[in-house]
Amino acid sequence: MKHTKGSVEVITGSMFCGKTDELIRRLRRATIARQKVQVFKPAIDVRYAVEKVTSHAGAEFDALPIENSREIFKHLDDDVTVVAIDEAQFFDMNVVAVSKELAEKGIRVIVAGLDMDFRAEPFGPMPAIMAQAEEVRKLRAICMVCGEEASRTQRLVNGKPARYDDPIVIVGADELYEARCRKDHEVPR
């Protein structure tokens, strides 16, 4: 079933807030409605299965890992009606234009990603995607310190908060992430 108009939906928040679970829920509903779904993720995301998006809770959905957002067009099926982009914060800024182009072709685009990096600053292309989206759903996790609602991602290195000048993206490093509220989030300078 083809959509009559395209749109961009964003699912965002800190780590452990359920972004991928919500993405998979929407994709399963689209599949039940007999819509043609394609899912893309950054090739650098190898935490779980390489060709799946997988939530921390274990839910998964088939996905194609790609190096850059423009590759989506190379792999796009003619009859696709829903395109999902997971971990969009790791893509280049072109993902903003790609999302817009897909929506203008009548495709429902669902984008999931962190809105802020570990420093609690806007993360990559996410602010621009959120600005152009028809819908933005910001989820919250539970603070690992006080138990209140959390909107931030705390990076810990050797048990201590990562410093402000640490690299934003570290693939395969020995580190730990926690959800934290504003009060308990720490970023030493």
3-state secondary structure of 189: coil
DSSP-based three-state secondary structure for 62: strand
**Residue 51 annotated among the catalytic residues of the structure:** no
Residue (of 79, 98, 1, 93) closest to 40 by Cα position: 98
Q: Which residues pair with 7 in a beta bridge?
A: 108
Strands 152-157 and 160-161: antiparallel
Instruction: List Cβ neighbours of 49 (8 Å cut-off, separation of 6 or more).
Output: 60
Candidate list 9, 22, 87, 178, residue with the active-site label:
87
Q: Which DSSP symbol is given to 162? A: P
Give 163's DSSP letter: P
List, by residue number, the catalytic residues: 87
